[in-house]
Chain A
């Protein structure tokens, strides 16, 4: 269990434009986000001595970013080969690295040309190696196709329906209207959602997250040092990473997953809440990994915000909108802000906890949950100001 409650903090955040076509190298995007995070903290590149990143063979090694931005002595650099499940785990890793004395001031980043370069949501190599020899030959190839299967199982088990998924899409789009970073800011109605093109039943176009070129970076250091820096520290109160049995080597290994109406969240919930010394009722707002609308529902249930099977009704009636009981994805989420593989959720959490979210600021935010991942494996954090 994460045993460093409030001992480490996020002292700086940075990001690039989120676009469909950056026209730039992934390395330069990573560097821009890192430079911005360093400046936000009031530091210089020479103050940075560690890097943690994750990629899908679609990015650049952390050490090459250190080189580009002129960090004279990186003492730690780690690149996880991972999907979005790592987007909170890298921040927890930064805290662990500092606790171990391997570095003092660590940048966590994710950079990708996710639309103009390697598209995660697209088809894969048509030669079906390893586990995919039991999936791809049947035309089960993409992430939306993989996760639609889970969503259907939740519908079978609990009666979850399109109106509930639609409420998530519409609510997050409304949040994005107030976010200058967001890629999709045009309002949508429930009718627009229902009429959006069916991609892979039960998913419509508006159930599926965006594809984005861009980068985000988060600077982690000790709470003590963070208090002497430029910005109000955001403390890492708790965190957890993992999943249940049969996490698999690959998305499609989920053939072996015992119950497709639940995901990783239920398996890490206990560690998460105990590490933070908090529970769902202590959370003011949350930024939940929304690669798909339904991902929200499984995570709300798994983390104990509602009972199993009640995630669908939970998201209805304005509960997850600003002013509701649990405002979610206040920047618009991966569905409407952009898809920097989940790290953009941490940026928004920090902005909300600092009180600098502008038109979309939720009042009196003291705690924010962030999550990353949607299937067999994921990570989550409790942040506070």
Chain B
């Protein structure tokens, strides 16, 4: 069965991130000039405008900054079997925020600042999504 949900259209700036996910690693950018850590990826550092950066591995731990529980599926046919599901903004220990799902917990039990850790879910041969579970 083909995967019906939205898939990332990987581009030149984001390929290292998605390649790392496929290898089971969560990576963010670190500016080689000023050390600012950033996510989502950009070509230029917003602090110093340097294009030079390293991809550093996040330890994959963070806390729930905010979250929603999707109960009405949109598009209906794509998400009908998944509701209710949790989408959260997670503040990683490295200081950047990432959006993802929280699994392995009933949606009603998710709380603010709850510690979570990354796990990886392969959805196609090319794409592995970083999702989170309670730590």
Q: Inside 8 A of A152's CB, which chain B residues have their CB? A: 66-68
B71 touches A137 (CB 8 A): no
B99 touches A200 (CB 8 A): no
Give per-residue flags for B1-36: 1 if the beta carbon is below 8 A from chain A beta carbons, else 0. 000111111110010000000000000000000000
Tell me if A126 counts as interface (CB < 8 A to partner B). yes
Tell me if A73 counts as interface (CB < 8 A to partner B). no
Tell me if A132 counts as interface (CB < 8 A to partner B). yes
Tell me if B104 counts as interface (CB < 8 A to partner A). no
Give per-residue flags for A147-182: 1 if the beta carbon is below 8 A from chain B beta carbons, else 0. 011101100100000000000000000000000000
Query: What's the Cα separation between A202 and B69 when bound, in Å?
Result: 7
Query: What's the Cα separation between A137 and B123 when bound, in Å?
Result: 10
Contact of B85 among A133, A139, A149, A156 (CB under 8 A): A139
Distance to closest chain B CB from A227 (angstroms) = 48
Contact of A138 among B14, B65, B129 (CB under 8 A): B129
B68 touches A200 (CB 8 A): yes
Query: What's the Cα separation between A133 and B129 when bound, in Å?
Result: 10
Tell me if B51 counts as interface (CB < 8 A to partner A). no
Known: A132-B6, A137-B8, A138-B99. A145 touches B89 (CB 8 A): no
Query: What's the Cα separation between A132 and B7 when bound, in Å?
Result: 9
Tell me if A21 counts as interface (CB < 8 A to partner B). no
A256 touches B6 (CB 8 A): no
Category for how many chain B residues contact A:
35 or more
A134 touches B75 (CB 8 A): no
Query: What's the Cα separation between A127 and B123 when bound, in Å?
Result: 14
Interface centre among B46, B78, B99, B100 (most CB of A within 10 A): B99
Considering only CB atoms, which chain B residue lies closest to A128 in the complex? B6
Q: Inside 8 A of B131's CB, which chain A residues have their CB? A: 138
Q: Inside 8 A of A140's CB, which chain B residues have their CB? A: 68, 87, 99
Tell me if A142 counts as interface (CB < 8 A to partner B). yes
A129 touches B9 (CB 8 A): yes
Query: Using a Cβ cutoff of 8 Å, how many contacts connect chains A and B?
Result: 110
B71 touches A200 (CB 8 A): yes
A156 touches B66 (CB 8 A): yes
A138 touches B7 (CB 8 A): no
Distance to closest chain B CB from A222 (angstroms) = 41
Known: A134-B99, A200-B71, A201-B71. A126 touches B78 (CB 8 A): yes
Interface centre among A129, A140, A145, A198 (most CB of B within 10 A): A140
Query: What's the Cα separation between A201 and B100 when bound, in Å?
Result: 16
Q: Inside 8 A of A199's CB, which chain B residues have their CB? A: 71-72
Distance to closest chain A CB from B96 (angstroms) = 9
Q: Inside 8 A of B4's CB, which chain A residues have their CB? A: 126
Query: What's the Cα separation between A153 and B63 when bound, in Å?
Result: 13
Contact of B9 among A127, A142, A197 (CB under 8 A): A127
Distance to closest chain B CB from A158 (angstroms) = 12
Known: A138-B131, A152-B68, A199-B71. A255 touches B7 (CB 8 A): no
Query: What's the Cα separation between A91 and B87 when bound, in Å?
Result: 37
Considering only CB atoms, which chain B residue lies closest to A136 in the complex? B6
Distance to closest chain A CB from B69 (angstroms) = 4
Give per-residue flags for A118-132: 1 if the beta carbon is below 8 A from chain B beta carbons, else 0. 000011001111111
Q: Inside 8 A of B129's CB, which chain A residues have their CB? A: 137-138
Give per-residue flags for A343-355: 1 if the beta carbon is below 8 A from chain B beta carbons, else 0. 0000000000000
B5 touches A126 (CB 8 A): yes
Distance to closest chain A CB from B10 (angstroms) = 7
Q: Inside 8 A of A197's CB, which chain B residues have their CB? A: 71-72
**Which are the 9 A-B pairs with shortest beta-carbon distances?**
A133-B8, A136-B6, A201-B69, A153-B66, A199-B72, A156-B112, A148-B68, A140-B87, A128-B6
Provide a sorted-by-A list of 30 A–B residue pairs whose CB atoms are within 8 angstroms.
Answer: A123-B75, A123-B78, A126-B6, A126-B75, A127-B6, A128-B7, A128-B8, A128-B9, A131-B40, A132-B6, A133-B8, A133-B10, A136-B6, A137-B8, A137-B123, A137-B127, A139-B5, A139-B6, A139-B70, A139-B85, A140-B99, A141-B74, A145-B68, A145-B87, A149-B89, A197-B71, A200-B71, A201-B107, A260-B65, A260-B66
For the A-B complex with A137-B5, A200-B68, A200-B72 known, give 10 more contacts whose Cβ atoms are closer than 8 Å.
A123-B78, A128-B9, A136-B6, A139-B82, A139-B87, A140-B87, A153-B66, A197-B71, A255-B98, A255-B99
Interface of B toward A, CB cutoff 8 Å: 4-11, 14, 39-40, 46, 65-72, 74-75, 78-79, 82, 85, 87, 89, 97-101, 107, 112, 123, 127, 129, 131
Interface of A toward B, CB cutoff 8 Å: 122-123, 126-142, 145, 148-150, 152-153, 156, 197-202, 246, 252, 255-256, 260
